[in-house]
Amino acid sequence: MTASAAALHPLAGVYSALVTPFHDDGRLDLDALQALAEFQLAQGLHGFYVGGSTGECFLQSPDERAQVLRAFTAAVRGRARTIAHVGAIGTHEAVALARVAADAGCDAISAIPPFYYDFSAAEVLAHYRALADATPLPLVVYNFPAKSARPLSTADLLALLQHPRIVGVKHTSQNLYQLERLRAAAPGAVLYNGFDEMFVGGLAMGADGGIGTTYNVMGGLFVQMMDALRRGDLARAQGLQKRANEVIDVLIEVGVFPGTKAMLKLLGVDCGACRPPFSPLSAAQQEAVERITASHLRALHVC
């Protein structure tokens, strides 16, 4: 089945991996979440992935993560779907955050595998099943091999998808072969492409949408890519991907998370800087961000 003909899963779409705003002194800036929500909703995004890697979740306390989930869900007010990333090294902490997400009205939860320790496959799968059992919300497994102590195999992922509340996978991997095999074996699952620079490739191999950092500043461009590919207009989708990748090249050069926040500020949405140990941009890096923002983001009318 082609991308243009495939039926959309209810949770399909283009989701911003949301940044977390901070004050200059490093405190959460919960008030800034409203402006951030409005800015991104105006780009036509289908939803938000709140509290993930882009949101600097592991530089926050559990209480701070809970505060962000509650405040952002209230800011969106049901106008788009929200997936709460509740991943943690410990099952009890992940379960506690999952219950916050359910109480706040999120549409789904997601979690990276427990990390650092050399957990066995059985332990990782048991962690996910305990998390899925903890709330009525659907669960999306965050498959990120580069950041996992024990990468999830295709067999692991398919075993997890047998659980009635484990409904999909956020596939942050260059292994598009694995993505296609998941799609073939689990046609009812929702699959998200995770690397922004490969969005069109991920959709072509069966993804139902994407979750990405750069959607914070050019989410509308990715919505256009998805629409073009579903119409069967591959050339249009490839052209849009090329334009997005010119921005991504600069972000990779300066640091994706600090660079994204710098772009947001230039576009009128000040979310502060990233928490240490992330470093502020140098003068040269800031200049590069300003150039690409002026030449691409405003010109693309995605802001």
**Residue among 62, 112, 98, 81 nearest 18 (CA):** 81
pLDDT of residue 4: 39
Residue 149 confidence (pLDDT): 84
Q: Can you spell out the DSSP letters for 243-265?
A: HHHHHHHHHHHH-HHHHHHHHHH
- For residue 193 the two structure tokens come to 């492409």
Residue 301's pLDDT is what? 43
pLDDT at 3: 44
Using the structure block, give the residue that is written with the tokens 């073939």: 184
Predicted pLDDT of residue 147: 87
- The torsion defined by the Cα of 229, 235, 240 and 246, in degrees rounded to 10, comes to 130
Catalytic residue numbers, as ranges: 142, 170
- pLDDT for 7 equals 62
Res 300: pLDDT:
55
Q: Which two tokens stand for residue 173?
A: 């991997």
User: For residue 64, what are its two tokens?
Assistant: 């701070």
**253 close to 288: Cβ distance less than 8 angstroms:** yes
Q: What is the pLDDT of residue 299?
A: 65
What's the pLDDT at 150?
84
Cβ neighbours of 251 (radius 10 Å): 23
Amino acid type, 222? F
pLDDT of residue 215: 98
Please answer whether residues 200 and 237 qualify as being in contact, where contact means their C-beta atoms are separated by less than 8 angstroms.
Answer: yes
| Domains of the chain, CATH where assigned | 13-232 (3.20.20.70)
Closest CA to 248 of 207, 281, 289, 300: 289
Could you read off the pLDDT of 264-277 as tens digits, one per residue? 999 999 999 999 99
Mind listing the pLDDT tens digit of every residue in the chain (303 residues)?
Answer: 334 345 689 999 999 999 999 999 999 999 999 999 999 999 999 999 999 999 999 999 999 999 999 999 999 999 999 999 999 999 999 999 999 999 999 999 999 999 999 999 999 999 999 999 999 999 999 999 998 888 999 999 999 999 999 999 999 999 999 999 999 999 999 999 999 999 999 999 999 999 999 999 999 999 999 999 999 999 999 999 999 999 999 999 999 999 999 999 999 999 999 999 999 999 999 999 999 999 999 765 444
